[in-house]
């Protein structure tokens, strides 16, 4: 995407090169150079002229982002195990030995601690309960391959995750409204007693090399890779997902290692007289007998792209590029499509199970992946640099048509500091996809491990859960128009050149700006505010009126600055510990006018539906859409709604209990209040009105004196979300 300002007018356009072959890309400040080693050269031009127009045009071509279930916007934690380590009495890692009382399966998502033992289901249960005790919101518990039997897909460890106990645990969390997701890697273990492998061989589903299934190594040891370009593979994969779902009723699937990642390179065979993997040493060390493949131009092309950023051979630690897919397609041409094709097959499989809306998280992506899957940004480091870089990555993927995206909170590796975890959860709580995730070598990092992090998590995630109706509406808008959930500031302020290169702040939707601390030891943040009035979402009496300038904001350890822009109506709820309970709480509408304005207008919207249904649309009888409007004119405030298909919201009984209006220049009393055309007499209803003066971070002269503004709250309302309402109130003069 290119955005330029010509004579004060912004113009955006974009170009897509749709090519799946290997390439180098060079950026030189004023030019981009693509060096591509094969394939089709299809170029597409998207004319804009706004950034939102570009993404709308782009996603209309590549596929609109997938609808996400409501619970997917909640907070995630999980556990992971690759192999067993032994700990001494002080909790230090030692050599692998026979199982003992302090043995554990180290985990890959917050939960990996020698002295606590994550090798069985009881530890996962403890994690869930500890989140409850700490009053930290939690919607989804994840398992990496610790639930598996020998790291094999679609299996259960009969000792550590016995099916009867796992099903009882799932009944318990499902009854609370929580969900359960597990990992699946594409590599299928070569094992003659493994049903998934046997059925794969019988259906001829694997990528070939010299006429035989291509042999690689991932966590189970020797594996073959399914060829998702083959229709037989898609059918086989769907059947395996169905079989596993009958075994364990998971709520989504996490597809990892699907670049595809291979611990070996070249042409490999299983060594004779040697166990592979051996059970000693890291599981990612190649233990197959392998030879380099250099005999073809597919494996050793004339131009050497900078594969993996390491100047290594093109087939390094992945599928050999002369391997063959269905219908003779070479891996050389299809490599970049692997994770994409797996996401399509997995989406089809999940949707075919119970007719529910699928949730899939994929590490590998391609043009169009957002139509099928969410994405996390891979194995980021627990460093301040990567915290900062995570914002850039999340914003990029929104532009790429993958709006449901986030980075591993606190970093995947190595050990983050307590301060970094505080600051990361304050950012990560506002990622579209918010998940805690860490490497098994890191010490314990659950959000409840540090009191300071617990407080920051309660604060930031508490606000996220209040914002769920707004985030879900953004999910709907992403699905229907491609609009990113998290956006660079220039999406809303394309004419304001100062924000073009800004990647330390971001917007959720068009109006909600997050300005986090991204540097060690800082208790304030220098934040850019585009012109207009901005209101602190955590304390709406705090106002910033900007001419387009930087402000220094206080940001002690537990504080993240989130500001709402003028001319907005923001729907919120009261929050809760899980999205299911948060979703049924009463609504509040936050209406923002420019501070002290005499005339203004504001808009907002709200989308609600049965999020189990595959489609996210109006017209099915299970959805409601509401446009919200407000005007300030001639001393009167008017607020009203226009509802489409209100029956669903009415059946749910959702009500608006409170309306907060920000930026008013005068007070309001109930004597001038009318709702749906009827006056509301003083003392004749449960409606309460209160007002507070707003504090301006920087006084702005208006030619007469210092600007003043009020926050006015109306509570005790009883307005059905599913019915049109209109309200008006008259203002007095502020003292």
Residues carrying an active site annotation:
256, 259, 379
288 secondary structure, DSSP code: S
Range 91-94, long-range pairs (CB < 8 A, 24+ positions): 91/115, 93/441
Residue 481 φ then ψ, to 5°: -135, -5
- For residue 506, the cross-strand partners are 514
Measure the CA–CA gap between 369 and 62, rounded to whole angstroms.
9
Positive or negative torsion for Cα 712, 695, 507, 438: negative
SS3 374: strand
Whole-angstrom Cα distance, residue 162 to residue 155?
Answer: 11
| Cα 130 from Cα 446, distance rounded (Å) | 9
C-alpha–C-alpha distance, residues 91 and 106, integer Å: 12
Determine contact, residues 473/444, Cβ cutoff 8 Å: no
Q: What does the H/E/C string look like for 505-536?
A: CEEECCCEEEECCCCCCCCEEEEEECCEEEEE
Q: Phi and psi dihedrals of 413, rounded to 5? A: -165, 160
Contacts of 107 (CB under 8 A, 6+ apart): 79, 80, 81, 118, 144, 146, 438, 440
- Tell me the C-alpha distance between 217 and 283, whole Å: 10
Distances (CA, A) of 438 to 144, 327, 431: 11, 40, 17
Q: Rounded to 5 degrees, what are φ and ψ at 46?
A: -115, 120
């Amino acid at each position: 995407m290119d955005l330029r300002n010509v004579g004060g007018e912004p113009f955006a356009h974009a170009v897509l090169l749709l090519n799946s072959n290997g390439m180098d890309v060079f950026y030189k400040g004023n030019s981009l150079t693509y060096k591509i080693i094969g394939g089709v050269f299809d170029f597409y031009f998207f004319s804009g002229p706004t950034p939102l127009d570009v993404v709308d045009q782009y996603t209309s071509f590549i596929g609109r982002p997938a609808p996400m279930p409501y619970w997917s916007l909640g907070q995630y934690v999980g556990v992971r195990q690759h192999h067993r380590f032994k700990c001494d009495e002080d909790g230090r890692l030692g050599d692998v030995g026979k199982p003992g009382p302090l043995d554990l399966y180290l985990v890959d998502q917050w939960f990996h601690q020698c002295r606590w033992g994550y090798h069985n289901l009881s530890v996962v249960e403890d994690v869930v309960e500890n989140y409850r005790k700490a009053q930290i919101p939690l919607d989804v518990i994840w398992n990496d391959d610790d639930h598996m039997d020998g790291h094999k897909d679609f299996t259960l460890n009969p000792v550590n995750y016995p099916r009867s106990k796992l099903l009882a645990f799932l009944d318990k969390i499902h009854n609370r409204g929580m969900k359960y997701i597990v990992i699946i890697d594409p590599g299928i273990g070569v094992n003659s007693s493994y049903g998934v492998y046997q059925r794969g061989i019988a259906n001829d589903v694997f990528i070939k090399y010299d006429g035989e299934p291509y042999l690689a190594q991932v966590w189970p040891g020797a594996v073959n890779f399914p060829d998702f370009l083959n229709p037989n593979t898609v059918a086989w994969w769907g059947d395996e997902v169905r079989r596993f779902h009958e075994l364990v009723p998971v709520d989504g699937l996490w597809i990892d290692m699907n670049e595809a990642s291979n611990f070996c390179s070249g042409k490999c065979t299983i060594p004779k007289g040697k166990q592979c993997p051996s059970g000693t040493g890291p599981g990612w060390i190649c233990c197959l007998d392998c030879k380099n493949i250099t005999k073809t131009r597919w494996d050793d092309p004339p131009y050497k792209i900078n594969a993996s950023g390491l100047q290594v051979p093109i087939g390094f630690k992945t599928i050999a590029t002369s391997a063959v897919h269905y219908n003779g397609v070479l891996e050389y041409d299809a490599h970049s499509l692997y994770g994409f094709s797996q996401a399509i097959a997995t989406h089809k499989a999940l949707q075919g199970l119970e007719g529910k809306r699928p949730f899939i998280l994929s590490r590998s992506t391609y043009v169009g992946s957002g139509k099928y899957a969410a994405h996390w940004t891979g194995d980021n480091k627990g460093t301040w640099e990567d915290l900062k870089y995570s914002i850039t990555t999340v914003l990029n993927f929104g532009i790429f048509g993958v709006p449901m995206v986030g980075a591993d909170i606190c970093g995947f590796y190595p050990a983050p500091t307590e301060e970094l975890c505080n600051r990361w959860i304050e950012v990560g709580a506002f990622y579209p996809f918010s998940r805690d995730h860490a490497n098994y070598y890191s010490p314990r990092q659950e959000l409840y491990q540090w009191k300071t992090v617990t407080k920051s998590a309660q604060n930031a995630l508490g606000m996220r859960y209040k914002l769920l109706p707004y985030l879900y509406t953004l999910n709907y808008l992403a699905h229907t128009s491609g609009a990113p959930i998290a956006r660079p500031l220039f999406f809303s302020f394309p004419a304001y050149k100062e924000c073009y290169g800004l990647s330390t702040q971001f917007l959720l939707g068009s109006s909600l700006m997050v300005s986090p601390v991204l540097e060690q030891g800082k208790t304030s943040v220098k934040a850019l505010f585009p012109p207009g009035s901005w209101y602190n979402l955590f304390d709406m009496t705090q106002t910033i009126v900007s001419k387009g300038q930087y402000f220094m904001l206080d940001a002690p350890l537990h504080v993240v600055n989130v500001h709402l822009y003028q001319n907005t109506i923001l729907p919120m709820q009261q929050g809760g510990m899980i999205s299911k309970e948060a979703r049924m709480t009463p609504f509040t509408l936050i209406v923002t006018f420019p501070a002290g304005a005499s005339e203004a207008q504001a808009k907002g919207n709200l989308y609600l539906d049965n999020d189990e249904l595959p489609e996210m649309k109006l017209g099915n009888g299970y959805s409601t859409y509401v446009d919200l409007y407000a005007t300030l004119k001639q001393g009167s405030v008017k607020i009203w709604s226009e509802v489409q298909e209100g029956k669903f919201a009415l059946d749910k009984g959702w009500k608006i209990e409170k309306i907060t209006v920000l930026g008013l220049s005068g007070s309001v009393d109930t004597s001038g209040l009318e709702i749906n055309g009827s006056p509301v007499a003083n003392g004749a209803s449960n409606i309460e009105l209160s007002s507070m003066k707003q504090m301006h971070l920087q006084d702005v002269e208006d030619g007469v004196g210092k600007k003043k503004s009020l926050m006015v709250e109306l509570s005790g309302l009883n307005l059905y979300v599913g019915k049109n309402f209109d309200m008006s109130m008259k203002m007095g003069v502020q003292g």
